[in-house]
Amino acid sequence: MSEDKLSALKNLIDTPRDLNKLKIYEGKLNQACIFLLFDSRKIVINSEASSKTIAEAARLVPQIRTRVESLIDRARAQDLRIRPGTPEKTQKLIANNSLLFDFIIFSCGWDLKEELKELDSSLVFGEVDKIKDLVKKVLEHIQTIDELFAQKDHAKTNIQSSEDVAAILLERYYKEMAIAEQAGALKGILKLEKPKFIGKSKYYDQLGNFILRIAMTYELESRDTPIAIRAINAILNREYPRVKADLKDIIKAVEILDENGLLILKQDHEGLYWIQLSPSESEANIILKMAEDKGYLTLEEVIMETNWPLEKASDELEKFVKAGCAIKDASYSSGTKYYFTELSEDNSET
């Protein structure tokens, strides 16, 4: 995840409730997407000159420029026009759904710009072997953004709840949605509610993240001191009012954390439930504190910081992945990264 991208998105975030301000906010985000596409166009223009000495690139780069310019035209046509007479509640829903697409388009637009920079560099240095793969990635990214614009247009007429739209987007754009959540972009748009039919696994993973945060910051005399589930429930209702969960849901989420070795669930002779931080709590807390600033860790960082053996560091990180508290991304040439987006401070009010 690009720290620059996350920072840029954070600087754009607002949470207006007034309809007119909401429309202005959506327009501001769309404009930011347009600026990214213009930056991409400038890079492609420079690349055209460098591509002339490489036959395949000389054929493909002009096609990329045409596709990018087409995206710019499409982005410029993305005004939030709503049919007169539409109820204000529906207008807000349309605006919020448009914002969900804007966050993903911004993220993809940023990645497209970075890929084009890499392509331009490869053209300058004549790295022929890399050029073909980079061109393929760039064209795939352009196609994705084009499809997102089409889906955004469709969402303005096919009205769905923001939770339903987010669930659909999450299937394909998990990383982009995770970045938007870490930036605080989803506050005021989405709330965590128990799904009726599908997506329950994801719901309990997210709920477990909030419970884990509460447990890790609970003031205890010792790590063997039990915490009543009812106390966790009270704190959850007070500090995370947008999270909808009853006592049974909390117990279910803690059972999952218990199965993955992050917490211990106990029941006393009166039938009351308690949790206890697991024997490896100190390791879990170390990892959470390390991940707090950046939102992600690499296996190498954990080993260097803690002096743990490779197997122990890997096992501790995998516990968070199994519990749904971290995302493992092995696509980086510099090594595997573990994203702790749900535990970010920026999500404390989601």
Q: Which two tokens stand for residue 104?
A: 């993903």
pLDDT digits (tens, 9 = 90+) for 91-133: 999 999 999 999 999 999 999 999 999 999 999 888 888 888 8
Structure tokens that stand for 16 in this block:
């207006």
CB neighbours of residue 79 within 10 Å = 10
Contact, 141 vs 108, CB < 8 A? yes
Whole-number Å distance between alpha carbons of 143 and 71? 9
Residue 283, pLDDT score: 78
Q: What's the pLDDT score for residue 209? A: 79
To the nearest 10°, report the CA torsion of 261, 267, 273, 275: -30
Residue 19: HSE in the Cβ half-sphere, 13 Å Cα cutoff: 12
Q: Tell me, what amino acid is at 72?
A: I
Question: Any idea which residue has 């600026």 for tokens?
Answer: 35
Distance separating alpha carbons of residues 257 and 211, to the nearest angstrom: 9
222 pLDDT above the threshold of 60: no
> Is the pTM here over 0.75, yes or no?
no
Closest CA to 207 of 172, 167, 247: 247
The pLDDT of residue 280: 54
Separation between Cα atoms, residue 34 and residue 93, nearest integer Å = 23
Pairing relationship of beta strands 337-339 and 296-298 according to DSSP bridges? antiparallel
Highest mean pLDDT among 61-65, 132-136, 206-210, 327-331: 61-65
Three-state SS for 296? strand
Residue 335, phi-psi category: left (phi > 0), alpha (psi -120 to 50), beta (remainder): left
For every residue of 111-160, which 3-state class applies, written as one string?
A: HHHHHHHHHHHHHHCCCHHHHHHHHHHHHHHHHHHHHHHHHHHHHHHCCC
Among the listed residues 151, 191, 185, 183, the one whose alpha carbon sits nearest the alpha carbon of residue 168:
151
Gap between the Cα atoms of 330 and 110, Å rounded: 20
DSSP 2-56: -HHHHHHHHHH-----SHHHHHHHHHHHHHHHHHHHHHHHHHHHHHHHHHTTSHH
> Which of left, alpha, beta for 195 (phi over 0: left; psi -120 to 50: alpha)?
beta
Rounded-to-integer distance, Cα 211 and Cα 204, Å: 10
pLDDT at 335: 67
What tokens does 65 get? Answer: 């420029």
Tokens of 8: 């840029």
Pairing relationship of beta strands 227-228 and 337-339 according to DSSP bridges: unpaired
What is the average per-residue pLDDT within 316-345?
Answer: 71
Question: What pLDDT, on the 0 to 100 scale, is given for residue 38?
Answer: 96
Residue 347 binned pLDDT confidence (cut-offs 50, 70, 90): very low
Residue type, 136: K
Mean pLDDT of 255-265: 85
**The predicted structure's pLDDT at residue 27:** 93
Q: Who contacts 43 (Cβ-Cβ below 8 Å, separation ≥6)?
A: 113, 116, 117, 120
